[in-house]
Amino acid sequence: MIFQQPPKTRARIKVGVVGTGFIAAGLVGLLSVSSSLRTSKVLTRRPRGTVTQVDETVVTRSIAELVSSSDIVVECSGDVVHTAEVVLAAMEAGKPVVTMNSEFQVTVGSYFCDKGYLTEAEGDQPGSIAALAEEAVQMGFQPLVYGNIKGFLNHEPTKDEMFHWSMRNGISLAQVTSFTDGTKLQIEQALVANGMGAGIAKKGLTGPEGEPLEVSSSSLARMAKARGCPLSDYVLNRTLPAGVFVVCEHPSESPDVLRYLKLGDGPFYTLMRPYHLCHLEIGKTLNRVAEGRAPLLNNSHLPTINVAAIAKKDLPVGSMIAQAVGGFVIRGEATSFAEEPNAVPIGLLKQAKIIRPIEKGQTLNWDDVEIPDSLALRAALSLRGQMSSTVEVMALSENEIS
C-alpha cells in the first residue's frame, strides 16, 4: 500500500482536491482505495453536470465549501490566478496546502510561504527531485546538481501537432504544448532552484544533449563547482527514462567503497530515479503533512529565479495573450531576477494585452503588457517590491565592503 495504516480509532484524513483534470481525477481514484485518506470535496469551475471524471456527489464550485470540508487541500489545476484565491482561503482557515502546480509556485508561491503550510508534492519532477535530494543528504552526499531528464523539445510546435498529441495522451492542449516547447521544464527547474537554494548556469538552462547521463551529469557538476553553488538544470536524451537525478559529492566515504557500490570512479556521483508517477505519489506527501513534517519543497520566501516570457512571434500593440503557459504566442525561459529584474513572470500573462510592440525572441517586461487585476498580480507585485529592496540592501552592503 502507498499509504500508512492509521490507528483504528483515527478517522480518515479529509482531502479537498482542486481541479478535475488528469492529475486531480487520478488522485481522487487513488484516495478511494486509501485506508487513511479520503476525498472530501472536488473544486471545479466547470458547469455542474459537465464533470464526469469524478463522482458528482463530491463536486463543488465553492472555495469556502471545499476548505471547510477538508483537513488538507491539494491544488493540481495548473492555474495561477484561481489557485492564489484557493490557497489564501485555505491558509486563512489554517489548512495546509499541497500543490502539484509548479506554475503557481514559481509565479506567486513565495508570497504565501510565510502565511501557512505550503509544499509541492512528490510525483511531478520538482517534488521527485526534492525527495531524491533529501535521501541523498541523509546518506551523507552533498548535492551539486538537481536534474530533470527530458526526451524531446520543440520551441515552436504547431497547433495541429499539439492537438494530435493532446488527443492521443488525454491531456489538455495547453499542457502538451508547455511540455513540448520547454516552458514546463523551465518552470519546474526554476522551482527546484528557488526551493533548493541553487542557481542556474545561464538563461534558459544548459541542457546537455544526446550524451550518456554520466557524461552530461559530470559536465553539469563541474559547472556547479566552478560557480561555487549547486545548479538546477536538465539533460536532453531520448534514450534515458523519464526520471530525475541528483549529482553529488561525498565528503567522507572512501571512493573505493562508492566504486564497489556501483557509483563509478567519482569524484561526482549520480543518483537517478528512473520515473516520476504524478498523482500516484501525492499520497506520500499527504502522509508527510499528516505526520507534521516540514514542507518537501516550495518556492522559498525570497526566490532568485524567475521564468520570463519569450515571444514566439512578432506581437503588435493590442495583441492578446489568450494562453500564457502552453500557448502559441509566448514560451518560458528560466532567468535570474538579478540579471533581468524587469522580466514579467510568464504565469501572470494569461489574458494580458500587449501595449508596446514586441519582436520575435524578445523577453516581455512589465512595461510591455497590461495584466488583468487579480490576487495573483498583487502578490507578484508585492514580491517584486520586496526583492527590489533586498537587491538594494545587498548592493549597499557590497559597496561598504569594497
pLDDT digits (tens, 9 = 90+) for 320-330: 999 999 999 99
Question: Which residue is associated with the grid cell 538594494?
Answer: 392
Residues 137 and 267 placed together within one structural domain of the fold: yes
**Prediction pTM value:** 0.93
Confidence at 288, pLDDT banded by 50, 70, 90 = very high
Residues 98 and 218 placed together within one structural domain of the fold: no
pLDDT digits (tens, 9 = 90+) for 363-378: 999 999 999 999 999 9
Residues 87 and 129 placed together within one structural domain of the fold: no
**Number of other CB atoms surrounding residue 280 within 10 Å:** 16
d(CA 338, CA 259): 40
Residues 38 and 88 placed together within one structural domain of the fold: yes
Residues 63 and 148 placed together within one structural domain of the fold: no
| pLDDT over 80 (residue 394) | no
Q: Is the separation of the CB atoms in 355 and 320 below 8 Å?
A: no
β-strands 269-273, 244-249 pairing: antiparallel
160 part of a folded domain: yes
Q: Is the separation of the CB atoms in 163 and 173 below 8 Å?
A: yes
d(CA 181, CA 114): 33
The secondary structure of 116-140, three-state, reads CCEEECECEHHHHHHHHHHHHHHCC
d(CA 144, CA 270): 10
331 backbone dihedrals φ, ψ, rounded to 5°: -140, 165
d(CA 30, CA 277): 12
CATH number of 358's domain: 3.90.1210.10
| pLDDT over 60 (residue 161) | yes
Q: Is the separation of the CB atoms in 371 and 348 below 8 Å?
A: yes
Q: How many domains does the chain have?
A: 3
Bridge-partner residues for 369, per DSSP? 354
The residue among 115, 248, 122 whose CA lies nearest residue 192 is 122
d(CA 148, CA 206): 12
Residues 248 and 136 placed together within one structural domain of the fold: yes
State which residues form the domain around 142.
125-276
Residues 352 and 369 placed together within one structural domain of the fold: yes
Residues 101 and 210 placed together within one structural domain of the fold: no
Residues 64 and 185 placed together within one structural domain of the fold: no
Rounded to an integer, the average pLDDT of 328-341 is: 97
Q: Which three cell numbers stand for residue 346?
A: 510568464
The residue among 30, 49, 47, 46 whose CA lies nearest residue 38 is 30
Residues 202 and 317 placed together within one structural domain of the fold: no
Confidence at 391, pLDDT banded by 50, 70, 90 = low
| pLDDT over 80 (residue 7) | no
Q: Check residue 171 and give its pLDDT.
A: 87
